[in-house]
Chains A and B, each alone.
Chain A
């Protein structure tokens, strides 16, 4: 029997790229889908087979899966704005359904999905939240949370039809390689001293490479759970910013907003940004994630997937060096830092 071949959908994205690296390091052969305008700069430096496919093209998706043993789905819909819930939910649901249908048709043995910690709801008194606490109905407070909830429901439907799906509900991913400045945009803005305001709450800082490694472990785990929370380290946002400011000798954002003001501000900034499809530093999604953030336990992921979160300092250092090297953040007294 030859090397196992894995299809990665979303390999040109931040998490997907690291999943590709982890798979290659573990000895798998990797096929990756790409869209016509995908940014393939980093992916083309890897030994992967690139095939054109998209979630909107069921036949191409199925064809891409044929000959693969398993699929990593790292392309669940990420709504840039929280302004149009129905449309975002529809896109996300259709995307997840497309993966399930194609995987069933192609006889795929297992699908590992990059999910979000936003799907983890409150825990009963006396313990931290984990994968057992997935919301039973869409969380009203967050469009992003609703989108992720509908994706999980679609995956459940796939499970009911006999497809083995492992959903990895990752925290906020930091690390090198975030070309599109998603979550790492906050760090880039901080390094540039351009973060205008902040809102307090909990954030689960996760190293993208730990998340990628967990995808490989989830492919190999003999009897995985349907879901795992991958929380990384739970920290207070205010404390994190003060710590980053000290570490990188930059200013912490001065203006602290209340949760209500932050929501209003994020909504306003998104409405202004939308016509030009610009990104905002603090999207509503992130405000919701932080203000409704909670401590989450990764015990099951540690037990079954060996998910042992990296030291947060190392994660941020490597993310920061990558941003500076690729001029996505300004260089600034790098030698002198460290508290």
Chain B
């Protein structure tokens, strides 16, 4: 699985849209999870859990609550994927 940044963003956005029951088209990279999208800490955990399942990652809880924007979440999950599945995997 070799996805570029846009593909990661599409997947992350789709999950946020599902959790918050929003139209995915209204979610931008710079949208703030808390202020703009209304995500509380439980929603953040749902996001983390969903991403973890989708990409077979073990994601640390303590990092999830520090994510500010949608782009943060994308970078976070991409980095975790690289670290856990290896470059070129």
Contacts and interface: CB of A to CB of B under 8 A. Distances in A.
Interface residues of B, number: 17
A135 B46 CA distance: 37
B42 A41 contact: no
Given A39-B46, A327-B65, A44 B41 contact: no
Contacts of A41: 45, 48-49, 52, 59, 61
A207 B42 CA distance: 23
B50 to A, nearest CB: 8
B49 A39 contact: yes
A179 B45 contact: yes
Contacts of A44: 52-53, 58
B28 interface: no
Contact of A327 (B19, B42, B59, B62): B62
A48 to B, nearest CB: 14
B22 interface: no
B23 interface: no
Interface string A197-213: 00000000000000000
Contact of B45 (A39, A45, A325): A39
A179 B61 CA distance: 9
A38 B42 contact: no
A187 to B, nearest CB: 15
Nearest to B50: A37
A86 interface: no
Interface size class of A (residues with CB under 8 A): 10 to 19
Contacts of A179: 45, 61
B40 interface: yes
A327 B50 CA distance: 20
A260 interface: no
Interface of A: 37-41, 44-45, 179-181, 278, 325-328
Interface of B: 19, 40-42, 45-46, 48-50, 52-53, 58-59, 61-62, 65-66
Given A39-B45, A39-B49, 15 more contacts: A37-B19, A37-B46, A38-B49, A41-B45, A41-B61, A44-B53, A179-B61, A180-B42, A181-B41, A325-B62, A326-B61, A326-B62, A327-B61, A327-B66, A328-B41
